[in-house]
Amino acid sequence: LVGQGGMGQVYGAVHPLIGKRAAIKVLRGELCADPEAIDRFILEARAVNQIGHPNIVDVFAFGSLPDGRQYMVMEWLRGESLDERIRRMLPTLEETCEIMLSICAALDAAHAEQIVHRDLKPDNVFMSHARGMKPAVKLLDFGLVKLVGEHQVERTRSGSMLGTPAYMSPEQARGGGVDHRTDLYALGVMLFELVTGTLPFIE
């Protein structure tokens, strides 16, 4: 187990024949009885492959475990999340520009496919390290992705909001319709945090 969130757990894995490493995201068992949760999980895998961008984590397999839990297989990344980097040490201005340009490239590709991420935040941006190269930015977790123009419930059945409050645009917080501008709002919050080390609005 290498990580977990509201939708499921992520496990590190090794292919038994060729030794290739991968990350396997498994939907939580209790969510497998919720059709909306399953639809969001499937949509995440579809969206990532529909965009197909080097700054977005690659998903290359999908299936079900014997107990019925859905899973997706993703590329294995070495490094740290942008959130961990901010807490460890703020990036330089030059690094901040490079990070933001990479995120913008990923979002531009997503928005060109009419896909809105809806949960953009430093914890969903990964700084992938490869020997002898600068860290590569990878956008993660399209679990709250929305197709523009598609009718989709903005809140869960329990009434809780979908998204992370500190990075959520006003219209998303109200549970109204959202489009690519919701991601741009979150992007602005992240830029503020990268430069100042704090959020623009603190509870």
Q: Which residues are catalytic?
A: 119
DSSP 56-71: B--EEEEEE-TTS-EE
Place of tokens 């014997």: 66
Chain centroid offset of residue 48 CA: 10
What tokens does 62 get? 């999908």
Three-class SS state of 152: coil
H helical segments located in the chain: 35-51, 82-88, 93-112, 170-173, 180-196
**Among 197, 23, 46, which residue's Cα sits nearest to residue 126?**
23
Between CA 33 and CA 194 the distance in angstroms is 39
Between CA 134 and CA 55 the distance in angstroms is 13
**How many CB atoms neighbour CB 2 within 10 A?**
11
